Homo-oligomer: A and B are copies of this chain.
Amino acid sequence: MELHEALALDAADPLAQCRARFVLPEGVIYLDGNSLGALPRATAATVAARVEHEWGDDLIASWNKHDWIGLAQRLGERIAPLIGARSGEVLVSDSTSINLFKLLAAALAARPGRTTILSETGNFPSDLYIAQGLAGRTSARLRTVEADAIEAAIDADTAVVMLTEVDYRSARRHDMARIAAAAHDAGALMLWDLSHSAGAVAVDLNAAKVDLAVGCGYKYLNGGPGAPAFLFVAEALQDQLESPLSGWLGHDDPFAFAPDYRPAPGVARFQVGTPSILAMAALEAGLATFAGVSMAELETKSRRLSDLFIALAEARCPELKLASPLGSRGSHLVFAHRNAYPLMQALIERGVIGDYREPDLVRFGFAPLYNGFAEVWRAVDIMAELLATRGYDQPRFRQRSRVT
């Protein structure tokens, strides 16, 4: 494919106009929205209004006047259609790791007599760490198996199956509905981490009969660095599950200041302490970038972008070995290269922002709202030029990247 053909794909792209919803630096091809989403154009003004007009002018009265108290649930309602959840099933709060702790602990308590949290050996490490921390203080245990052994490993001791839909390295995508059905057949609950899925591919939690989910606000949802995360609890389960982090905002009547905790009905019981209202302003602006976009067309474009990257890289960068599946996957790609670290550093110097992953992977994310086909073409063009002119055939110093 030539550049003019890629430009023609952009011209015909129904989502192309969404790029104007973002501010992207000149000369940068940003292929790291899977680590930190780009800055939406509306964010600065949305945050400034909350700082100056709400906090500054209305001070404490803003909790009611600007419904700060309802923000966690209102933003949950905005995320719900992106992940196939119903109204009242999603809450914005805390971090992905903390939400995972809440839901895992609640799931274990809802399956008395069962002690196993079953996960995948290659799951995102923080998810495994959280399960380890929980297991270390209770009678529960974390058991991890390889991806293809999960269904066979679900047994009568499995309280909850905890998996990430889209692998943070390979982008391999699990079959949510099939694994959820296997968990249910064994009487276990199913929990999905949607951090690398939400806002990039079409997720339908209720169609897949998922019980529990968590996800990240700062990747494809464009909520800003360290944005508040979200959690999902299927409606039918909400009143059976209780959060171990029983903070006052999850209380049925937080402002009564009653001495005993009594969980709120519904998903609100998974709130803990007072959330950052400024961080939620940025997440609100991030979620607004999805206005009018269907998740099906988003996923279609995601797939076309990454398919194009694979085809161009195969043709022009044969030294790279695709380490992502050709089949079902999320919206990023990884390639192995013996000098992955200096290659990625050189790409970044040339304005192509992806990231390096231990031990030998370069990773590129495709955010369908703002990435385009000509960007993909140019990124591969730059990479081909670097590989052809600079070599990268000698091992070089590697240092660790600091982002996910």
B contact residues around A63 at 8 Å (CB): 225, 402-403
**Does B52 lie within 8 Å of A247, measured CB to CB?**
no
Q: Are A256 and B358 in contact (CB under 8 A)?
A: yes
Q: Looking across the interface, which residue of chain B has its beta carbon closest to that of A30?
A: B59
Q: Give chain A's interface residue range (CB within 8 Å of chain B).
A: 35 or more
A43 at interface by CB-CB < 8 Å: yes
Cα of A349 to Cα of B31 in the assembled complex, Å: 52
Instruction: Please name the residue on chain B nearest to A95 by beta carbon.
Output: B273
Number of identical monomers bound together in the oligomeric complex: 2
A residues 208-256 touching B (CB-CB < 8 Å): 218, 224-229, 243-248, 251, 255-256
Instruction: Find the B residue at minimum CB distance from A225.
Output: B277
B275 touches A278 (CB 8 A): no
Query: Known interface pairs A55-B225, A137-B105. Does A128 touch B259 (Cβ–Cβ under 8 Å)?
Result: yes
- Give the interface segment out of A32-40, A154-162, A199-207, A298-306: A32-40
Question: Which chain B residues lie closer than 8 Å to A30 at the CB level?
Answer: 59
Nearest-neighbor residue (CB-CB) of A248 within chain B: B126
Q: Are B132 and A261 in contact, CB atoms less than 8 angstroms apart?
A: yes
Question: Which A residues are closer than 8 A to B by beta carbons?
Answer: 23, 25, 28, 30, 32, 35-36, 38-39, 43-44, 47-48, 51-52, 55-57, 59-64, 68-69, 94-98, 101, 105, 109, 121, 125-126, 128-130, 132-134, 136-138, 144, 218, 224-229, 243-248, 251, 255-261, 272-280, 282, 348, 353, 355, 357-358, 400-404
19 more A-B contacts (CB under 8 A) besides A39-B59, A132-B246? A39-B55, A44-B51, A44-B52, A47-B47, A62-B225, A98-B98, A121-B259, A125-B257, A125-B258, A126-B247, A126-B248, A128-B261, A133-B261, A134-B244, A138-B138, A224-B277, A225-B274, A226-B276, A278-B279
